[in-house]
Amino acid sequence: MPGNTFGKLFKVTVWGESHGRALGVIVDGCTPGLFLNEKDIQKELDKRKPGSGNLSSKRKEKVEILSGIFEGKTLGTPISMIVWNKDTNTKNYKNLKNIFRPGHADYTYYLKYGLYDYRGGGRASGRETVARVMAGAVAKKILNKYKTLIESKVVTIPFPEAKTEGDSSGGIVEIIVKNPPKGLGEPVFDKLNADIAKAIFSIGGIKGLEFGLGFKSAALKGSENNDEFTIKNGKIRTKSNNAGGILGGITNGENIIIKVAIKPPSSIEKEQSTVNKDLKEVKIKIKGRHDSCLIPRILPVIESMIAITLVDHLLRQNAIKL
């Protein structure tokens, strides 16, 4: 299974299964001399910590740094981090061993590989995002040096009562990158918005995203949609930010504004129809510790993937200037 590494200069490789022994990440390309410790990483992990709300499951996560740090600073060598799976509960999945769960990747993994890890979805589980957040914590530390801040908020969760009904809810979130470095992005195929889109869409459960006005811009005239330039405090700025901070695939210095649509979690207690490996139609109810809404815990994951992408492009841009 290739495709577990993201980035060109700031490379992030994630590994592990939902109910395996552990999940982890290797970050290669981090600059040396960056102050970094486990508290920095744990702070970000706690944002996606299971059990932080009544919409989430209840699994524990604690980071351990294995390499790349000496006397509190990065060495410039690969940073390896791990979270041990000490609180797994596999018994709830045994009765699902040969059944393809609706909305999950069981069937497509089976089509592609001839087998799949039925214990919580294996690599297809949202559990794997713990590795992304660990890498994102490193990226955010680097962005802090440039005073770049990534903020996120919930726009809407249409069915907050879904859990009490044995169901789930999706929703929309907004992410704002404040004070992004200017000039990031590599046209033509490596535009920053293209790479950010790939980074976000690589997260399970993402169904749509838009930059700036996004789909609303399709209903505007050019005179309404264009961001006119002006001078503010001796610097070139735009009067509006309909483009969402990126022009021609390159950052213009304005805030990067992104909206993301997230589907409802597929694991629900309501009875559903499906099939098994024996080609028989069956009924299914999924029990266990599952989120009824991904949004409370997916926000730091989206932030992390954006941070990783920004740092990768930041290193590319700095390489151009050398």
Q: How far is residue 22 CA from its own chain's centroid?
A: 19
* Long-range contacts, stretch 68-73, CB < 8 angstroms, 24+ apart: 68/27, 68/30, 69/36, 69/37, 72/35, 72/36, 72/37, 73/32, 73/33, 73/34, 73/35, 73/36
Counting the structural domains of the chain, the total is 1
3-state SS assignment for residue 100: coil
Task: Quick: pLDDT tens for 279-306.
Answer: 999 999 888 778 999 999 999 999 999 9
Residue among 53, 90, 57, 66 nearest 15 (CA): 66
Task: Give Rg (Cα) of the chain.
Answer: 21
Q: Which whole-number Å values give the CA distances from 72 to 30, 40, 44, 81, 100, in the listed order?
A: 14, 11, 18, 15, 46
Residue 180 lies in domain: 5-321
Residue 194 pLDDT > 50, yes or no? yes
What pLDDT is stored for residue 96 in this prediction?
84
pLDDT band at 51 (very low <50, low <70, confident <90, very high): low
Sheet holding 149-156, edge to edge: 149-156, 171-178, 256-262, 206-211
Domain containing 32 — which CATH number?
Answer: 3.60.150.10
Residue-averaged pLDDT of the chain: 93
Judge whether 137 and 40 are in contact, CB under 8 Å. yes
Task: Quick: pLDDT tens for 73-107.
Answer: 999 999 999 999 886 667 767 788 899 999 999 99
Task: Quick: pLDDT tens for 230-254.
Answer: 999 999 999 999 999 999 999 999 9
Lowest model confidence (mean pLDDT) among 34-43, 258-267, 281-290, 300-309: 281-290
Judge whether 180 and 245 are in contact, CB under 8 Å. yes
The token pair that represents 38 in the structure block: 């486990």
CA atoms within 13 A on the CB side of 318: 11
Q: Which whole-number Å values give the CA distances from 272 to 81, 102, 163, 284, 286, in the listed order?
A: 38, 8, 16, 5, 9
The token pair that represents 317 in the structure block: 């841009």
3-state helix, strand, coil split of the chain in percent (to 5) is: 30, 25, 45
